[in-house]
Amino acid sequence: GAVVSQHPSRVICKSGTSVKIECRSLDFQATTMFWYRQFPKQSLMLMATSNEGSKATYEQGVEKDKFLINHASLTLSTLTVTSAHPEDSSFYICSAITIFGGSTDTQYFGPGTRLTVL
């Protein structure tokens, strides 16, 4: 159990376009989802925390108008990279936790989405 999926797994887009990445909890209700970004040969850096039904909380230095996060249901959070530029090319990973049973410390990670902006 506790599977998190992401779609798409890879996306290539032109500079200036917007890209939407979906994060789904397949077999549990995710009360909180996190979005991380990972550049090549670097660690995961938290971008934002998303709670179902409320606005996301962004980390310092992450532009909320550029990285739009929507967590409209307990199984889906979306990250939209607006007006993407080559420097936004990265590996985007989501994770989820649930308050419904189990430990709220346990984060379940998705497989990641590789974004390449040309």
Partner 1 sequence: GESVGLHLPTLSVQEGDNSIINCAYSNSASDYFIWYKQESGKGPQFIIDIRSNMDKRQGQRVTVLLNKTVKHLSLQIAATQPGDSAVYFCAENTGRRALTFGSGTRLQVQP
Report the residue from 79, 97, 115, 117 that binds partner 1 according to the rule CB under 8 A: 97
Kindly tell me which of 5 and 83 has the beta carbon lying closer to partner 1: 5
User: Which region, judged by CB under 8 A, interacts with partner 1, from 62-70, 72-80, 81-89, 109-117?
Assistant: 109-117
Q: Rule CB under 8 A: is residue 74 a binding residue for partner 1?
A: no
Q: Is the dihedral of CA 84, 64, 77, 44 positive or negative?
A: positive
Contact residue for partner 1 among 43, 54, 61, 86 (CB under 8 A) = 43
* Element housing 27 (H / E): none
Ramachandran area for residue 112 (φ above 0: left; ψ -120 to 50: alpha; else beta) = left
Residue 89 contacts by C-beta under 8 Å, 6 or more apart in sequence? Answer: 115, 116, 117
Size of the site for partner 1 (CB under 8 A): 24
Question: Where on the chain is the footprint of partner 1 (CB under 8 A)?
Answer: 4, 6, 32, 34, 36, 42-46, 49, 91, 93, 95, 97, 104-107, 109-112, 114
